[in-house]
Amino acid sequence: MGVLKVLQDLNGSRYQVFLVVATLIILLNVSYLYVIEAQPDKSFPSISSNLRPQTDMTSEKYINVLDNPEVKASKTDVIKKAIAQIKAENEDRIIKVLEKEVRSKNEASILTKVKLTLKRQMIRKMFRQDVMSGRLMDDMKQKYLSDNEHLMKSFITKDLIQGLKQKEEFKKFDDPALKQLAKLLEEQLADRAKNTVFFQYILEELIGAHDPKVKIELHQISENIIPTYINNPDAKNSITLKDLSRLKLKDQQIESLQQSHDRLVRLLTTLEVPKESVFSGDGIVINTGDIGIGSVLVLVSQLRNTGSVLPIEVVMNTWKSADKKICDEILPQFNAKCIFIDRAIPKMSKSLPQKLEKFQYKVIGLFISSFERAIVLDSDNLPIDNVDTLLYCQEFLKTGFLLWPDIWFKSTSPEYYNIARFEVGEPVRRDGLSNNKGFAQYVSSGKKHSNVAFHDLDGLPSAGTAETGQLVVNKRKHIRSLILTLYYNIYGPNCYYTLFYQGGAGIGDKDTFVPALHVFNEPYSMVDKSTDLLGFKSGVNMDGEFVDTTLIQYAPTSAKYHLIEWKKWLKTKDLDTRLSPFQDNDYTRNLYKQFMTHCKKLIEVEEELDDSSIKLKPLFLHIHRPKINPLENYNSLGIRDKRILGKKEEYVPKLGEDSDWELHFHSLSKWIACDLLKDSQIFATFELDQAAVCDGISKHVDYLKATSWFHPSEFVGDVVTLNSPQDDQTLPAKVETEDEDV
C-alpha cells in the first residue's frame, strides 16, 4: 500500500511514471528472489530477463495513454491498471521461472538422495539373499577354512577316527581307510547343511513371501476349454484370443497376481546360487508316491537293462512311508538311492499351503536332488534305449533344457500373459492352420487377427503343450525359471493351474515350465517330433473306440535331422517350411508319403543319405493306463486278456516287429514281484499277498507270450548283474527258451 500511496501522490512527467513502473518491477523481482533464497542456475535466464520484454511493452503502453490528451482518466487510475495488468501477465511466468530455478538447484541433490535410498534398500535385500542362500556363509567359511585348513582337517579326521575306533564293527579297519571315511562323512554333512539352508530360503523368502493371496474359483470360467489335438488344426478348437478368453478375473485379483509376480521376478533376476553349488554331477531323478515304488523298480531295472550307468535318486515324500529293504538294500544294488523331501526340507514355511499335491511334490523333488544336470523321469515312463546319451546330445548342450511335446493345444488364459508382462506381436507360426491353407490369408484374417491361433503370435510360447514325463535340465543354468516354475506349482491349485488350463487337458505341472522359461528369456529345446499314441480298441471284440494307454516320445537328434530333411524337401516344392509333417489330415499324409519316397530314393540310388538321417527313433514309452507296476497290475481289470500297447498291426508300424516291449516290461515286473521283493515288507504294507501277486503277473506273462509275434528267444538285451551282499543275482533281460521268462 505504501508504494501505491507514493504513486498516487506523483504528478511528474512521463519519465517519472516510467521510472516508478520500472522500480515496482525490480522490487517484485527482488522480493521473489528473497523469498526463495536462491540464485538462479546459469543455464536458465534470470527472472528479470524473462520479464523485461513484456513489462517494457506494458509500461510504454500506459505512458502513451498518459501522454494522450484525449484520455480523461486520472494518472492514479492509469497506474493502478498498469500494476494490475503487470501482475496478471507475469504472476504465472514468475512462478514457472522460480520452479525451474528451484529444480535446477536441487535436482542433483534430490537424485542423489533417491539413489542412496534405493541403494540401501537393494543392499539390504541382497544381504538378506546372500545370508539365506548361504553365499555369505560360504565366503566366510571358505576364508576361515583357507586360513585354518591344516588344523581343521587334522582335528576333524582325528576326532572321527577316535570315535569310530570305539565301535566294534570298525576295529578291523586300518587308519587310512578310517581317514577316507572321515573325509567322506565331513563332505556329506557339509553338503546337507548347505542344501537345507538354500532350499529353505527358496521356499520361505522367495515362494512363501510372494503369495498372491488370490483364489480363482471354477465359476469364474465361463466355459471349460475343449481338449484339442495339436496335430488336428482343422477340427473346431478353442485356440483364438476370443476362444481362450474364458476366465473372467476381477481387477483386484489381476493387480494382486501381477504385483506378487513382479516382485518375485525382480528378486530372481539378481539371485545367485551359492559358490559351492548345492548341485553337482549328472544323474537320473525319479519321483514316486508310496505304492508307485513298484513302477520305480521296473523303471530302474529297465534303465540298467538299456545300458544306463548314471546314478539314480528316487524322490519320496517322507522317510516314514519308505520300505526299508527297498531303500537300504535293493536300490543300492542298482546304484540308486532314496531321498526324502521331509529330510531335505525339514521345516515347511507356515506361509506356504500346508497341503501339497503330487504335482507340487514333483517339482520340489527336482530341487532336492543333488544332480546339477538331471534326467527327470516319471516312474511309469520306460526307456527303450540308453538315456545317458541325452546329456550329450546337441539339443541339450545348446540350451541346457530339453523338453518333449504333448498332444494338446495350449489352453492358457490371455490373462496370464498380462500378469507376467508378455508382449504380444504379429503372427509368426502356423500351428493353428491346416497345411493345405495359405499363410497370407491366415495373417490378414480380420481385425486384430481374430481368426489366428493366439499362440501363433510372436512373443508367446508356441501352441503345443509340453509333456514332462521326461525332461533334461541343467539346474544351475536354469535356477531362476525353475524357482518360478515351483512358484506356479505351489500356488497352482488356487490360481495358476486355472490360468494355465482353464479346464483343458492335462492339468498339473507340465505346462508350468515353458512359461517360466519365457519370463526370463532362457533358452530351451523342444523335440521336433510330435507324440505318437499306442493303445487298444475297447469292447468285447476289441472293435470299439480307441483307448490310448501309451505316449511314444522320440530321440531328439533323430527328430531334428528328420525335420531338417523335411524342410529341405519343402523348399524344392516351393512350400512353406513351417508346414508340420505330422498333421492328421489327408493333405499332409499324402505330402509326407511323397517325402519318404524321396528320402528312400536318395538312400538307395543317389546315396546322399543314410537311413539314420531320416529314421525316427522311439526312446520312451510312457505307459500310463495302466502303469506297469507289480503291486497293482496283478489284478487289474481286464489286463490279462488284452495287450495295452495294441495288437501287432497297431504296434509294429510304430515300434517295429523286432521287439515286444509289453512282454519285456511285464516279465521284469514278474521277476520283481516273485524274486526281487521276496523278503520285503512292501506286500504287508499294502495288504497284499505276495504269492497271489506273483501268480497274477505270471499268468499275464503267459498270455503275452502266447500272443507275441516276437519269439522270446530272439530278444536281445544286456544282462545286468546285481552285486548283492549275500550272493550274485542276475536280472533276466533275454529269454533262452519259451518256458523261461524275459
Q: Are residues 288 and 415 in the same domain?
A: yes
> Residue 657 carries which side chain, given as an amino acid letter?
E
Q: Are residues 199 and 333 in the same domain?
A: no
What gap in Å lies between CA 657 and CA 659, rounded to an integer? Answer: 6
What gap in Å lies between CA 466 and CA 403, rounded to an integer? Answer: 7
Exposure of 402 by Cβ count < 10 A (0-12 exposed, 13-18 middle, 19+ buried)? buried
List, in sequence order, every residue forming a beta bridge with 404; answer none if it has no partner: 467
Residue 228 Cα distances to 235, 282, 500, angstroms: 8, 37, 15
Q: Are residues 402 and 451 in the same domain?
A: yes
Q: Say if residues 406 and 531 touch (Cβ distance below 8 Å).
A: yes
Q: Are residues 67 and 199 in the same domain?
A: no
Domain assignment of residue 537, yes or no: no
Runs of H (alpha helix) within 614-723:
630-633, 648-655, 661-671, 682-685, 690-706
Domain assignment of residue 567, yes or no: no
pLDDT tens-digit series, residues 496-536: 999 999 988 878 888 999 999 999 999 999 999 999 999 99
Q: What total of structural domains would you count in the chain? A: 4
The residues, any chain, with a CB within 8 Å of residue 76's CB and separated by 6 or more, are 7, 8
Q: Closest by alpha carbon to 333, among 715, 730, 704?
A: 730
Residue listed under C-alpha cell 501287432? 648
All three cell numbers of 398, joined, read 545348446
Q: Are residues 646 and 736 in the same domain?
A: yes
Domain assignment of residue 593, yes or no: no
Q: Are residues 357 and 456 in the same domain?
A: yes
Q: Are residues 166 and 72 in the same domain?
A: no
| Whether residue 653 has a cis bond before it, omega within 30° of 0 | no
What gap in Å lies between CA 241 and CA 362, rounded to an integer? Answer: 31
Q: Say if residues 400 and 455 touch (Cβ distance below 8 Å).
A: no
Which of 209, 243, 260 delimits the end of a domain? 209
Q: Are residues 335 and 475 in the same domain?
A: yes
CA angle 214, 218, 223 (to 5 degrees): 130
Q: Are residues 411 and 292 in the same domain?
A: yes
Which of 123, 156, 187 delimits the end of a domain? 123
What gap in Å lies between CA 598 and CA 422, rounded to an integer? Answer: 42
pLDDT of residue 91: 75
Q: Are residues 92 and 204 in the same domain?
A: no
Instruction: Write 592-596 long-range contacts (CB < 8 A, 24+).
Output: 595/565, 595/566, 595/569
How many CB atoms lie under 10 A from the CB of residue 144? 11
Which of 123, 139, 155 delimits the end of a domain? 123
Domain assignment of residue 160, yes or no: yes
What gap in Å lies between CA 518 and CA 5, rounded to an integer? Answer: 76
Quote the domain boundaries for residue 116: 2-123
Q: Closest by alpha carbon to 383, among 178, 53, 620?
A: 620
All three cell numbers of 384, joined, read 527303450
> Residue 527 carries which side chain, given as an amino acid letter?
V
Domain assignment of residue 423, yes or no: yes
Residue 455 gets which letter from DSSP?
A: G
Q: Are residues 113 and 195 in the same domain?
A: no
In whole angstroms, what separates CA 299 from the centre of its chain?
Answer: 25
Residue listed under C-alpha cell 501268480? 695
Domain assignment of residue 48, yes or no: yes
Q: Closest by alpha carbon to 619, among 377, 346, 426, 415?
A: 377
List, in sequence order, every residue forming a beta bridge with 536; answer none if it has no partner: 547
Q: Closest by alpha carbon to 82, among 67, 63, 99?
A: 63
Reported pTM? 0.73
Q: Are residues 219 and 334 in the same domain?
A: yes
Average pLDDT for runs of 10 along the chain of length 742: 44 47 50 44 39 52 62 68 74 78 79 78 68 59 54 55 62 62 54 65 87 88 83 76 91 95 93 74 92 95 96 90 90 94 71 70 88 96 97 96 95 96 94 92 76 93 94 95 95 92 85 96 96 88 85 96 94 96 95 92 71 84 92 68 89 92 94 92 91 91 90 44 34 34 30
Q: List the CATH number of the domain containing 489.
A: 3.90.550
Domain assignment of residue 446, yes or no: yes
What gap in Å lies between CA 461 and CA 465, rounded to an integer? Answer: 9
Residue listed under C-alpha cell 512363501? 208
Exposure of 59 by Cβ count < 10 A (0-12 exposed, 13-18 middle, 19+ buried)? buried
pLDDT of residue 571: 96
Domain assignment of residue 568, yes or no: no
